[in-house]
Structure 1
């Protein structure tokens, strides 16, 4: 439903990042902060990664974001009860004052990312304030919405990027100055990333951030389903309400460029031999008896010249490139920009899945989306399916399409590093 409050909100333009009272783990009540964190819910490789996280600490955040029970309703009820219990027991405690959080991630290879975590005003699509670049799956949005309603919480921030001038904004200077002081928390997760968090409570600092961001537009780097969920829940509640905002991490990629990686597909019930045979006559095919890193290098070289994919699952790699132009003309919609028509993800979904392999893209029992390359190959070999490995899209292509209002096929990109889930939560009933 639309309300007068929502109509009034659309008069604002630009990003509006608000302070909130974060809900955080008490380090004295858990084994370690690293042991209670998790990757975002859609990055956890299931069931292996899920079981690993559950066993790492009885209070791992995965018990909230991916609760395990017999039915969806039972899962959400369990997550809500777990959250209430952890708060009542003091495992999770609320910061005393509303604040924005400066968040830093650093690895051992020189990767440094800093940004702001806050409660972002949820805008309407017509406002062009937050730009999606991928389609979403309705059943995933429904699932996330049910979980957020049950817990009355934003359990993990989505990742948004914007383009500042890279050096002289008040927000950039404030983040750098804050990162020079002692953090609220510091931990290193098993992937080698060090995470640090600081709070911003000074009214002058918060006003400077608000002024800077009021002129900015953001791109969703990670969390399309959570953003669609925020919008659905905002529409369900009369404004003003806590549902007018959603938890985000906002990063200036002019200053801190993100890595862009591909999201791979695991096709259940399609053996590699069958998949490769169906491509004969439509793509050039080459069998590669090489290790995974070398196969990915070959894929990268082939992708420079056009659409290319690596198929795996039988102990080798099969490079499929140089698609038949007539096949593409026949299967790819002609009413989209050329940059969209030539995306690997477009060719995969519109041509391979739909017309060559005849796999509906909205069938979660047939297609799994996995970020980890080695895990995709291993699961394909173990399950007898086909891993389709993708080459990443450049960030500028993603941003240009988003500004044109053109969405890419679902799960086309993986921006990172992604924020660790569990460092700060937002309870909507505070």
Structure 2
């Protein structure tokens, strides 16, 4: 089975992309989605977060929620808001955030290659979240949330995607957050064939975001073995060198019973600590910003503590956990410990200062962003990234291209 294939995409009708495009289902709470979709009857949030159209106390995992998603999708089809292409196509997808531009390919990726680890993972999944995505796919008869994938260096693939994204886009929308989303439909049979061959020659692809969506697609494929479309999952594949990972910072509620002076003294056993007159946004790996009420410090991990041969242990998120959060603050379970929280870099360092100065948190740590090459090394080693290691921006939109399982 080829690594990727074209498909008959379900897309907004001409001129409707701006009405339909919505943030990914998992970046908004139900309350935020209600506000975002207010006055926007064709927002894809009515499909991806259908509980917003039910009473406020509705369990988001209740059967009626998935049924509502299906009825909302039917309404958008009946009204001609969404239309399906009449032939198999690829789709070029460009994201523009300020000066950052990345252009990739929307395709149907083979579940068999996910199952065999040719499409490589780096995160654990939770059964309850997988169950939710399985129910959503089954209710809709479609995959609507794309998995974000990266491909390794390929000048040939880059050139083909550049060709596919020439001329006027078929869809062009600027989201509420200012991100521009553009789609080009690739209908040319020769170009489709070239793209398929170039990607099929790649040894591997890497999941950047969407582990629960891909795991759910695998379960649906196993249950629908006679359904050819179900043996693939919706993906957007970008060149790894164009993808942008932002810092994923940490805030902690207390100093484990220590004064600030004692905390700094304990931390200095493994880090060189220097006061900073301004906010610290680490410019290189191994360097961290520490914010205590009213003051910033630069923390540099001692070089002998960096295990260069271990792709997981050498990550900055691991160095902070293994040398400070665990031994100094006794925070050892990042998934369950209520004393720690995480702040995506898109919110800026001012968010860290506000959460500490308000008294909600005792300290904040600013990290250097994880690099794509580091993520790929972890996946190649068959290892798992620590929780909250990557924050990808810009985010894909839901609703611009969906994959129907017919």
Q: TM-score, normalised by structure 1?
A: 0.76
Match of 2:299 in 1: 321
- What are the Cα deviations for residues 173-228 of structure 1, in whole angstroms up to 9, with x where unaligned? 43323322232111222333332211122332222111111111111122222222
TM-superposed CA distance for 1:246, in Å, is 0.6
1:17–1:210 CA contact under 8 A, matched in 2 = yes
Counterpart in the other structure of 2:318? 346
RMSD: 3.7
Deviation at 1:120, TM superposition (A): 0.8
Matched residue of 2:282: which SS? helix
Of the three residues 217, 224, 244, the one matched with 1:259 is 244
Q: Is the 8 A contact 2:146 2:398 kept in 1?
A: yes
Q: For 1:77 and 1:350, how far apart are their aligned partners in 2?
A: 45
CA shift at 1:172, angstroms?
3.6
Change (3 A) 1:183 1:368: same
> Is the 8 Å Cα contact of residues 30 and 49 (structure 2) preserved in structure 1?
no
Cα distance in 2 for residues equivalent to 1:352 and 1:57:
47
Checking the alignment, whether the CA contact within 8 Å between 2:287 and 2:368 is kept in structure 1 is no
Tell me what 2:128 maps to. Answer: 139
Task: Write out aligned runs for 1:397-412 (5 A).
Answer: 397-412=374-389
| Residues 93 and 49 of structure 1, relative CA distance in 2, 3 Å threshold | same
Equivalent of 1:43 in 3, 20, 27: 27
Conserved? CA contact 1:23–1:95, under 8 Å: yes
Q: How many residues align?
A: 389
Alignment counterpart, residue 98 of structure 1, candidates 79, 88, 96: 88
Give the equivalent residue in structure 2 for 1:191.
177
Match of residue 119 from structure 1: 108
In 2, the alpha carbon distance for the partners of 1:80 and 1:158 equals: 21
Separation in 1 of the partners of 2:46 and 2:251? 25
Aligned match for 1:175, one of 161, 167, 170: 161
1:54 aligns with 2:37: yes
| C-alpha distance 247-274 of structure 1, shift in aligned 2 (>3 A) | farther
From the superposition, tell whether residues 150 and 320 of structure 1 become closer, same or farther in structure 2 (CA, over 3 Å).
Answer: farther
Question: 3-state DSSP class of the match of 1:123?
Answer: helix
CA distance in 1, matches of 2:266, 2:371: 26
Length-normalised TM-score, structure 2: 0.80
Q: Is the 8 A contact 1:36 1:61 kept in 2?
A: yes
Cα distance change, pair 218–26 in 1 and its aligned pair in 2 (3 A): same
Name the CA shift for 1:35/1:275 in 2 (closer, same or farther; >3 Å). farther
Gaps of 5+ in 1: 1-11
Seen in structure 2, the aligned counterparts of structure 1 residues 77 and 368 have a Cα distance that, compared at 3 Å, is: farther
